[in-house]
């Protein structure tokens, strides 16, 4: 075999020249494999019996749940401790803080499960192709992406770095649905099909919202400081109020943009300003009224007609 020592030096030189993508002589980082295992185990905890190789009976559930809680707690404390590691913090302080966050995380799990129950119900009610609740839990990528986002959101609120984003990116890689852990999402949330959906960090989504594939709730622009660097932490993604439906490839941008309650955004609409409640926004079609689902009565709506020539009207 020919010697390959001549290949080493140019690569070592690149390590010195491009140091921003090295992580050596510093504290360890969360393992992507460990985060993947943690996320898989969290699905077992959230949906007992659905992701197990063997059936779980009611009698076995307490023991099975305790086992998975103990496993996740160990994994989570280790991952949080690594994520929180600071140069001046002792290992003992990190472990104590990680243990405290882990306790609060598990206290939030019943609330997450209550929300996920409404998400499953929304999917079953909103998709005529759904044959059972079991099908939704096992076969709908939107539910999996939302489930991981909801637990990652608990860690995001605790200001744990790295780990929440790694969890949602794990779900993104499996489902094609990219939801930032910072997004605040209400109950009865349904992503139909889901491929290509993007939801940004500061997005706020109300109750009973339905999104189709290709929807983007993104940022319009980024404010910069005097040095030209992007200012972090500002609100930059839309607010979507209750009972809104956004059809495929709808793109809604901007932190000042609000989609009013009970509105419908048609397919392929590109929007960068707020619309009032009860708006029907479509391309190339004028619709004068809508049927109220609860009362069965027609109610007037604010309708905006869009064509290729008129697209500047809404942006």
pLDDT at 27 over 60: no
The better pLDDT of the pair 306, 67 is held by 67
Q: What is the mean pLDDT of residues 186-195?
A: 96
Give the pLDDT confidence score for residue 134 in this predicted structure: 93
CA dist 194 → 114, 161, 251 (Å):
22, 27, 14
Rounded Cα distance between 224 and 210, Å, is 33
The confidence band for 309, taking pLDDT boundaries of 50, 70 and 90, is very low
Is the pLDDT assigned to residue 312 strictly greater than 50?
no
Give CA angle at 70 (90, 142), nearest 5°. 100
Query: Using 50, 70 and 90 to split pLDDT, how confident is the model at 288?
Result: very low
pLDDT at 263: 95
Return the pLDDT at 261: 97
Domains and CATH numbers, the chain: 28-177 (1.10.3130.10), 196-315 (2.160.10.10)
pLDDT (mean) for 24-34: 71
Task: Take residue 179 and report the two structure tokens written for it.
Answer: 């939801």
Highest mean pLDDT among 23-27, 139-143, 294-298: 139-143
Per-residue pLDDT reduced to its tens digit, 145-185: 999 999 999 999 999 999 999 999 999 999 999 999 999 99
Cα separation, 47 vs 18, whole angstroms: 44
Q: Count the neighbouring beta carbons within 10 Å of the beta carbon of residue 204.
A: 17
Is the pLDDT at 53 greater than 70, yes or no?
no
Question: According to the model, what pLDDT value does residue 94 have?
Answer: 87
What share of the chain in percent tops pLDDT 70?
Answer: 82
pLDDT in tens, 212-221: 999 999 998 7
Q: Which two tokens stand for residue 41?
A: 């185990």
Dihedral-angle region of residue 135 (phi above 0 means left; psi in -120 to 50 means alpha; beta otherwise): alpha
At 246, phi and psi to the nearest 5?
-125, 120
Report the pLDDT value the prediction gives residue 125, as an integer from 0 to 100: 96
* Overall average pLDDT of the 5-24 stretch: 69
Q: Which residues pair with 298 in a beta bridge?
A: 291
Please report the pLDDT score of residue 116 as a whole number: 97
Which residues neighbour 260 within 8 Å (Cβ) at sequence distance 6 or greater?
Answer: 241, 244, 274, 275, 276, 277, 278, 279
pTM for the whole thing?
0.83
Contact predicate 99/79, CB 8 Å = no
């Amino acid at each position: 075999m020919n010697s390959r020592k001549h290949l080493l030096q140019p690569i070592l030189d690149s390590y010195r020249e491009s140091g921003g993508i090295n992580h050596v002589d510093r504290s360890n980082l969360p393992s992507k494999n460990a985060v993947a295992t943690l996320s898989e185990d969290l699905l077992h905890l959230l949906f007992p019996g659905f992701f197990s190789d063997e059936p779980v009976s009611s009698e076995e559930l307490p023991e099975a749940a305790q086992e998975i809680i103990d496993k996740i707690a160990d994994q989570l404390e280790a991952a949080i401790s690594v994520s929180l590691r600071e140069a001046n913090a002792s290992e003992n302080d990190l472990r104590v803080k990680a243990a405290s966050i882990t306790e609060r995380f598990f206290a939030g799990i019943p609330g997450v499960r209550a929300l996920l129950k409404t998400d499953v119900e929304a999917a079953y009610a909103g998709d005529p192709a759904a044959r059972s609740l079991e099908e939704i839990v096992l076969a709908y990528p939107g539910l999996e992406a939302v489930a991981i986002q909801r637990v990652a959101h608990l860690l995001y609120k605790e200001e744990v770095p790295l780990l929440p984003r790694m969890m949602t990116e794990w779900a993104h890689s499996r489902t094609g649905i990219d939801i930032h852990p910072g997004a605040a999402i209400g109950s009865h949330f349904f992503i139909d099909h889901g491929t290509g959906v993007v939801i940004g960090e500061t997005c706020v989504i109300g109750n009973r919202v339905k999104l189709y594939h290709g929807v983007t709730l993104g940022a319009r622009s980024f404010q910069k400081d005097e040095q030209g660097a992007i200012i972090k932490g500002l609100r930059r993604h839309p607010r979507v109020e209750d009972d809104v439906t956004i059809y495929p490839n709808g793109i809604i941008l901007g932190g000042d943009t609000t989609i009013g309650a009970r509105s419908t955004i048609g397919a392929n609409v590109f929007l960068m300003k707020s619309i009032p409640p009860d708006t029907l926004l479509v391309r190339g079609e004028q619709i004068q009224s809508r049927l109220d689902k609860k009362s069965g009565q027609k109610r007037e709506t604010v309708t905006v007609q869009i064509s290729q020539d008129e697209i500047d009207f809404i942006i």
